[in-house]
Structure 1
Amino acid sequence: MEKAVITGMGAVSPIGNTIPEFEKNLFAGRHGIVPCDHFDTTDMAVNVYAPVTDLDINTHFPPREARRLDRHSLFALISAREAAKESGILDAIDPFRIGVNLSTGLGGVDTFIDTHLTMQNKGPRRVTPMLIPKFAPNMSAGLVAIDLGARGPSTSHSTACAAGTVSIGEGMRAIRHGYVDAMICGGADAATQKLIMAGFQSLRALSTSDDPDRASIPFDKERKGFVMGEGGGAVVLESETHARARGATILAEVSGYGLTSDASHITAPDDEGEAIDRAITDALSDAGERDETVYVNAHGTGTAKNDAVEAAAIARVFGDKALVSSTKSMTGHLLGAAGAVEAIAGVMALQRGEAPPTAGTTDIDDDMHIDVVRGESRSAPLTRSVSLSLGFGGHNACLVIDRPGE
């Protein structure tokens, strides 16, 4: 059975719009959380978010083309292009043997909201013919396939905040079973509009802190919810045989994948966490279990129940053999992009032998018996990282990522 290896990565995020920028800020513990400046918050309890900044769209797309793309699709295309360029895959593969798994949590909500306002104010005849192509949640996958000439399978997985992780896991399976030689996998979302944030606020999921430094503090005693972020992340997965034949640089191996459902509640994790345990243990079994310290990039939203249930699951599976952090403390919650960006963080942790910190988190809840990396990044002889993603609807997805050749 073929191994699925990573040969390229790309990211657009609140802490960096390229892989080098993202890595630098990630391990320095710099967050991208700022006061809301894009809508009036006087009638909101939420006052902070984590936007993508300093991204010059005109350096990536001509103005006319950029206007025809929703913001989340822009993030998807930019991150996929970066991953493909680093990999060098496009010049060395049959286009029918490379596919795209590019997912989103909410799709083109920016376009939908703006177009609805246009129709209310000016009538249906003023609705743009680009509404459906810009709004449809599959379109980021289609656009990446068109842009990069990938003529193999092109899909988008609708699994909420686990979407990016599922896309990578399913890409790994496609390569293992020989359906393709490579897949461009990841996710993108841009859902920081007032309507969407009000919806999450009504669920009591968003942080109400006014202090950007203490707004996203997963596993902390004073956590109050997550911070809404935006961005995109992509990796090039490739069969090891194909990668070695063309002399590609192998960054890591995606060696395990687990996917389960709580079958319990539409927004809250199951109290017992049994399905989370199973997603992790299935992924570990798939990869081949090891008795060593691993880096766990937790879902770690900063909501009271999620963190408690997730921490208990991590403790049950790994005991004291896991260094844990939540990079949402820096990026905010990127929804469908979160799993992809966090998998990239896991690859970087292996490359550097260093676990990134959970920025802002200081005092771990007494009931959480896990080793949360705080303050600054921590060096460790890491050969394996685990990325865990949990989504509304009870989706639990887990990836195991190993150093190449381990």
Structure 2
Amino acid sequence: MSEKDALVHQLIDDFDALRPIVLASNKEHVELRAILRRMASTLEKLQGLPAVPVSQYRLLARLLSRLIDAEHGLLLSSDVGREMGEQDADRLIEHVEQRRRLLAQAQQDVPILHRTIARCSALIGREIAADREIADKAQALEMMLRAHLQEDRVVRGELNELIATLRASLASMSRVLQEVGADSSELARAQEVLSQDLPEDPVAAKRLLEQAREEILAAGNKVVEANEAMQQQMQQQMRKMQQLTEQLKRAEAQARNDPLTGLANRRRLAEFLRGLKSETVSFVMLDIDFFKKINDQYGHDAGDEVLADLAEVLSGCVREGDMVARLGGEEFCVVFPDTPLATAVELAEELRAAVDVHDFKTSAGPIPVTVSVGVAQRRPGEPNSAWIKRADEALYASKTGGRNRVSSAE
């Protein structure tokens, strides 16, 4: 358990111990009860906040920053606790997509050397086997050019066309290497060599073309290496991002459910209420009678077992489409869509009776448990806060009227 989680648990335990004392001394203080419920809700929300380990975030940010430029890398170096803005996130996603396209382009450009050599050999009426290695192809082309120079000086014009073709290919490869952050000095030297006029002397012309060939081969190998390395890094980062996405989804699900009982928490309850389409909806609020005495007499562990067992009892008694949630402490609620007040009171009575006859077995032994219940039907146009408050007032009436009973708000 992290330090943050330990502190939150301590706050919740202290609050659970303090709340009944305060309520007992201020039974008629409705505003105080509302404040205590808000405090309980705030503690639960704080407890359910998802968190990604700082070390994991920094590792992912450091690995991903190797694939992007310095400007976009700054977006990953921000404080871990600050959420990245939507505009910055869109910029980062677009930049990574650009890099992905560059890798794809690099993969397409690697075969350029093979096609260029094939075109060059075709220009002088020769053919080199397609399955040969690029170094063998370059050496074979060199021998062909030398023989052609010796045989016919007309080849000079063809060689100039070859050089123009190579220049275009080299320019494309240079852009790819620069975009992926690799050194393109070999291509620069090859371009410098090919920018010179072809010497009249066949031996000098051969030497010039050989020099360009060596530089092109070195650059081609660098393109292949850069492509393979970045493809591997991109795959690793995609796996890491997928894992992080799954972790965030799990954290989001945990943040919408009560960790002790597995029931919906206040956040999920609020989402459920916002999505209700029914005009006839009833809200049932339940509170365990004398729960503080249970904790004092049997211990908090046994109290937690009672809460978890009660959650199962309530979940087993409701209908499909109903919502059972834990509001905090020993308070629970049930939402009955498409249910008028009279029917909701009958259902609430069934819930109360089911709890009354249930055998609550704990590590401290069996514990008798009853609940007090308040029911309210939502009025047309009534805010949820007012509606729930009326149910809470009905619950209070059950408490003051002897407990283990159901009261309704008209």
Highest RCO, 1 vs 2 (Cα 8 Å, sep ≥ 6): 1
When the two structures are superposed, what TM-score results if normalisation uses the length of structure 2? 0.22
The structure that is strand-richer by fraction is 1
From the CA coordinates, give the structure whose radius of gyration is larger: 2
The structure that is helix-richer by fraction is 2
